[in-house]
Amino acid sequence: MSQEMLTVLETKKRGKPALPKGVDDDLVRRMYRLMLTTRLMDDRAMRLQRQGRIGFYVPSIGQEACAVGSAAVMTDEDWCFPSYREPGAALTLGADLQAIVHEWYGNAADNTKGRQMPVHYSFKAQRFVSISSPIGTQIVQGAGAAMAMKIRGKKAFSITYFGDGATSSNDFHTGLNFAAVYKSPCIFFCSNNQWAISCPLSQQTASESIAVKAQAYGMPGVRVDGNDVLAVYQATSEAAERARAGEGPTLIEGLTFRIGPHSSSDDPTRYRPSEQLEEWQAKDPIARLEAFMKKAGLWEDAFGEPLVEEINASIAEAVKVAEETAMPASATLFDDVYADLPAHLAEQRDRLLQQEKTAGAAEMDADAAFPL
Report pLDDT digits (tens) over 81-102: 999 999 999 999 999 999 999 9
Please give the helix or strand (H or E) that residue 222 lies within, else none: strand 221-225
CA 241 to chain centroid:
22
| 324 vs 366, higher pLDDT | 324
221 secondary structure, DSSP code: E
CB 278 within 8 A of CB 217: no
Q: pLDDT digits over 173-229, tens only?
A: 999 999 999 999 999 999 999 999 999 999 999 999 999 999 999 999 999 999 999
Residue 247 has pLDDT above 70, yes or no: yes
- At 67, phi and psi to the nearest 5? -75, -50
Q: Angle CA(264)–CA(266)–CA(268) in degrees, nearest 5?
A: 125
53 secondary structure, DSSP code: S
Confidence (pLDDT) at 369: 67
- Domains for the chain: give ranges and CATH numbers: 25-323 (3.40.50.970), 330-359 (no CATH)
Confidence (pLDDT) at 41: 98
Average the pLDDT over 51-72 and give the result.
97
CB 38 within 8 A of CB 308: no
Gap between the Cα atoms of 236 and 226, Å rounded: 11
Residue 372 has pLDDT above 80, yes or no: no
Supply the mean pLDDT for the chain.
94
Residue 263 has pLDDT above 60, yes or no: yes
Check the CA dihedral 299-305-308-310 and report its sign: negative
Per DSSP, the residues of 244-278 read HTT---EEEEEE----S-SSTT--GGGTS-HHHHH
| 371 vs 209, higher pLDDT | 209
pTM of the model: 0.94
Is 240 in a helix, a strand, or coil?
A: helix
From residue 230, alpha-carbon distances to 3, 55, 57 in Å are 18, 35, 28
Angle in degrees, 0-180, between the axes of helices 285-296 and 25-50, rounded to the nearest 10 = 150
Gap between the Cα atoms of 89 and 34, Å rounded: 9
Gap between the Cα atoms of 45 and 49, Å rounded: 6
Query: What residues pair up with 162 in beta bridges, in sequence order?
Result: 190
Check the CA dihedral 279-32-95-21 and report its sign: negative
Residue 17 has pLDDT above 80, yes or no: no
Pairing of strands 195-196, 199-200: antiparallel
Confidence (pLDDT) at 3: 72
Q: Where are the alpha helices (DSSP H) in the chain?
A: 25-50, 64-71, 87-92, 97-105, 137-151, 170-182, 214-217, 229-244, 274-281, 285-296, 305-323, 343-359
Catalytic site residues?
A: 258, 262, 271
